Amino acid sequence: MVLGRRYRVGRSVVYSAGVMRVGYVQMRPRFGEVGANLRRVRELIGSERADLWVLPELFNTGYVFTSHDEVRALAEVVPAGDTTHELITMAGELGAHLVAGLAEREGDQIYNAAVAVGPGGMLALYRKVHLFSEEKRWFTPGDTPFPVVPVAGARVGVMICFDHYFPESARTLALQGAEIIAHPSNLVMPGIAQRTMVVRAMENRVFTVTANRVGLEERGGRALRFTGLSQIVAPTGELLARSPEETEEVRVIELDPERSHDKHINPWNDVLADRRPAFYAR
């Protein structure tokens, strides 16, 4: 249910969603099986309804690449590639927006990217700024700004997985007015992002939605276990949803994006207005 509501920002009146449904898909992608992974997303969502769905990082390809040729073959041009096309089709069918991670190819460069799409097409492409571990072998560091897109009257920011380790990522989105941060992930360090994202939510007073994957991926003599525990956090740091470590699961919650507008933690302190940027630069 989306209830329209007006509110004031400074002297302007802005139209916003009152309550929206936000969900994530925690899944176990099969390496290299793009069609099967897309079908699995549809199966898991089933008849659940949400205004915004967040899918994991690289949800369509899997994560443990073994060669540049392999990454190149699985990377897609955006928005022309099959995955973005299928996500837009899904958005139309579900009447929803989706934020999802995929390997993107532009010319000779391959990026660990995320797209934000809606029934009307693509809204944003984000290329992961902070590459994790061996991702540096396969991907070019991102060169796109952290995007904020409109979804059902709310402002949704996008960052990918290891971006959580750098508080600047979420802060940059909050300073642009993000109310909800969509965080497609393939987390492998147990319990770390589950804690940092509670802090990112609190220090910026925003909602965060971390969609992680599960399962062991063993390829080319390397094995990674993905840690599940996808979660949704409120601007107070309250945990609104958390999934198990090992099983696929879809969760949807209703939230009011306006709860992110009050940046006060007490009558004296506003987490954005109290910043002292003059002291942050060397």
- Return the range that interacts with ligand ACM (CB under 6 A); candidates 119-127, 186-194, 199-207, 210-218: 186-194
Please select the residue that binds ligand ACM; options are 53, 65, 139, 162, rule is CB under 6 A: 162
Stretch that binds ligand ACM, among 74-82, 91-99, 183-191, 201-209 (CB under 6 A): 183-191
Beta-sheet pairing, 121-127 with 148-151:
unpaired
Q: What is the DSSP string of 76-125?
A: B-TTTSHHHHHHHHHHHHHT-EEEEEEEEEETTEEEEEEEEEETTEEEEE
Let me know if 263 is a catalytic residue. Answer: no
Question: Under the criterion CB under 6 A, does residue 194 sit at the interface with ligand ACM?
Answer: no
Q: By 3-state DSSP, what share of the chain in percent is helix, strand and coil, each rounded to 5?
A: 25, 35, 40
Stretch that binds ligand ACM, among 3-11, 94-102, 181-189, 238-246 (CB under 6 A): 181-189
Is 136 a residue of the active site?
no
Name residues contacting ligand ACM, limited to 201-230 (CB under 6 A): none
End-to-end CA distance of the chain: 47
Active-site position among 76, 161, 179, 217: 161
Question: How many chain residues bind ligand ACM (CB under 6 A)?
Answer: 7
Indicate if 161 belongs to the active site.
yes
Instruction: Match 């928005």 to its residue by tokens.
Output: 79
Q: Which residues contact 163 (CB under 8 A, 6 or more apart)?
A: 128, 129, 130, 146, 169, 170, 183
Pick from 123, 151, 154, 188 the residue near ligand ACM by CB under 6 A: 188
Residue of 170, 180, 187, 234 interacting with ligand ACM (CB under 6 A): 187
Minimum CB distance to ligand ACM, residue 158 (Å):
14
Q: Which residues bind ligand ACM (CB under 6 A)?
A: 57, 132, 161-162, 186-188
